[in-house]
Amino acid sequence: MNTPAKLGSYVLGLAVLFGATFGAGKAVGVVGSPPSPGGHATHESAPAAQVVPAGLQVSDDGYTLVPVTTAVEPGKQTDFRFSVTGPDGRPVTAYQVEHEKKLHFIVVSRDLTSFQHLHPQMGSDGLWSIPLTLPEAGAYRVFADFRPEGGTGLTLGADVYAGGGFRPKPLPAVSRTAEVDGYTVTLDGDLVPGRTSKLTLKVSKDGRPVTDLQPYLAAYGHLVALRNGDLAYLHVHPDGEPGDGKTPSGPEITFYAEVPSGGDYRLFLDFQHGGTVRTAAFTARTVQAPSGEAPAEVDHGH
Ligand SMILES: [Cu+2]
């Protein structure tokens, strides 16, 4: 697949991600079809909110996330196991590799203050396992983001509990700056419900822009957006990829994202520098586009 076409389907995928792509079988034909010029023009009058966003269901399109481990002790590493059963009721063993992995596993506390992006190992029987530590007592949401061989991409979610006294934390304040391990990441751009929004994340360290980000899972950054309130899931990928001759290795990473409704979202950016993957987290509040303003221009060009 050439780059523009690939990017085009990402962008198109985003348009419907919170709509139907990763959720319902009905949208299958949409995925991977060539992007129409202007991307989201058709979307303007039909916000994606009518369809169930990804990650809210434990079972969709015949596939079910089946946690074998459902309760763990906080602060203690557990061998967390699960499977994904297919339409025949049996564990799925054939997956398509997406971003270098067959399955991406995201673990988030329900109060959105803890985030882990993991890559479990699958046995030949379709049983997945991953060493997992849930930092504190509470309710967690686990997401399996995958594409069964020959099928469409799905994100299924299930609740997992760490027993004990639970002290929920308030949603961190809205901020355009996040600090992690001496790195500062700033967020530019606004989330606009029903529209494609360009988000630019800029990484610096000790006041200097970082220009030698390392590819991580075939990208300079991975962004997961979760809606406050129900943890609806949006996995967004950056514009361009390492080695395509036009995507810089920092300090800026550009993403296109579309959120289905107004409100607060928690954004988690994974980036790699100096051999370590770190996560910068932001709380972002959507803004309403001024009426009559055209949707964000998506650059599929090149
Ligand atoms: Cu992943």
Q: How far is the CA of 288 from the centre of ligand 1 (A)?
A: 31
Q: How far is the CA of 8 from the centre of ligand 1 (A)?
A: 21
What is the reported pTM? Answer: 0.81
Structure tokens at 73: 């002790």
pLDDT digits (tens, 9 = 90+) for 225-249: 999 999 999 878 788 889 999 999 9
DSSP state letter for 225: E
Q: How far is the CA of 102 from the centre of ligand 1 (A)?
A: 9
Rounded to an integer, what is the distance from CA 43 to the centroid of its chain?
21
* C-alpha–C-alpha distance, residues 194 and 45, integer Å: 9
* C-alpha–C-alpha distance, residues 90 and 18, integer Å: 27
Among 216, 91, 221, which residue's Cα sits nearest to residue 144?
91
Question: Phi and psi (nearest 5°) for 60?
Answer: -160, 140
Q: How far is the CA of 144 from the centre of ligand 1 (A)?
A: 9
Binned at pLDDT 50, 70 and 90, residue 90 comes out as very high
Residue 259 near residue 80 (C-beta atoms within 8 A)? no
Q: How far is the CA of 40 from the centre of ligand 1 (A)?
A: 27
* C-alpha–C-alpha distance, residues 76 and 74, integer Å: 5
Domain 3-162 top-level CATH class: mainly beta
Third-level CATH fold of 177-285: Immunoglobulin-like (2.60.40)
Structure tokens at 68: 């074998």
Q: How far is the CA of 286 from the centre of ligand 1 (A)?
A: 26
As a whole-number percent, the residues of the chain with pLDDT over 90 amount to 71
Domain locations in the chain as residue ranges: 3-162, 177-285
Mean pLDDT of 65-75: 95
Establish whether domains 3-162 and 177-285 are of one fold: yes
pLDDT digits (tens, 9 = 90+) for 248-279: 999 999 999 989 999 999 999 999 999 999 99
At residue 189, does pLDDT exceed 80? yes
Contact residues for 302 (Cβ-Cβ < 8 A; gap 6+): 3, 4, 7, 246
Q: In Å, what is the CA distance from 293 to each residue of 130, 198, 288, 289, 297? A: 46, 15, 10, 7, 11
* C-alpha–C-alpha distance, residues 259 and 54, integer Å: 11
Which pLDDT belongs to residue 71? Answer: 85
Which pLDDT belongs to residue 9? Answer: 40
Q: Higher confidence at residue 3 or residue 139?
A: 139
Which pLDDT belongs to residue 24? Answer: 34
Query: Which letter, b or e, does each residue of 214-236 get, where b requires 16 or more Cβ atoms within 10 Å of its Cβ?
Result: eebbebbbbbbbbbbeebbbbbb
Among 81, 62, 74, which residue's Cα sits nearest to residue 142?
81
User: CA 111, 112, 114, 119: dihedral to nearest 10 degrees?
Assistant: 120
